[in-house]
Amino acid sequence: MTDASQLYLMTPAGAQAHALGPMLAEVMDRFSPSCLRIRGGAEEDELGRLADMAREIAHARDVAVVIDDHVKLAQRHGLDGVHLNDGARSVRYARKELGDDAIVGAFCGSSRHEGMNAAEAGADYVSFGPIGESALYKNEVVDLELFQWWSEMIEVPVVAEGAITRELITQLSPISDFIALGPELWTQDDPISTLSQLWG
């Protein structure tokens, strides 16, 4: 859709590997995301199966795979890194455990200060959200001015996530490196059609 923002795809929280696989492959074939993030919410055994399935599908398409918070699972299942949901707090630990080549991303809510701390600690990207109003998110809605400022002042890539609409994608595209979509798709009857409408 745009040269500015790339698609960052999230799996459904608590997904089952056997049910998600075919849909995930089709979505990735049609929309070429830059990164796939495995959301938490399942038992560790199921997350392991999900990690193996997602890695196989994504790596066959040259797409990086990160997993929410589970440094050990990322190591054990050959993933590309982790997405940390506690801001800057675990960035240095994750980097030490996973090494310099791993992807370490940090979700920082709406806090510019937390984002800067995460970037200084060595995060490969910083994520802010939610961007739109939604009962699914506890954090306050992020002002788009934060992305404008970040894109002008900070070199570390920035991800926008949470209650994204087509209108917000249009606004975010010039000022965000990645736009994360997941719940917006998987809660719908036809995720691929929904993604076509959002990203097409």
Provide the CATH number for the domain formed by 6-199 in this structure: 3.20.20.70
Contact 85, 68 (CB under 8 A): yes
List pLDDT tens digits, range 82-131: 999 999 999 999 999 999 999 999 999 999 999 999 999 999 999 999 99
Q: Judge residue 91's burial from the number of C-beta atoms within 10 Å of its C-beta, 0-12 exposed, 13-18 middle, 19 or more buried.
A: buried
- State the greatest distance between any 2 C-alpha atoms of the chain, in Å, as a whole number: 43
- Output the pTM of the full model: 0.96
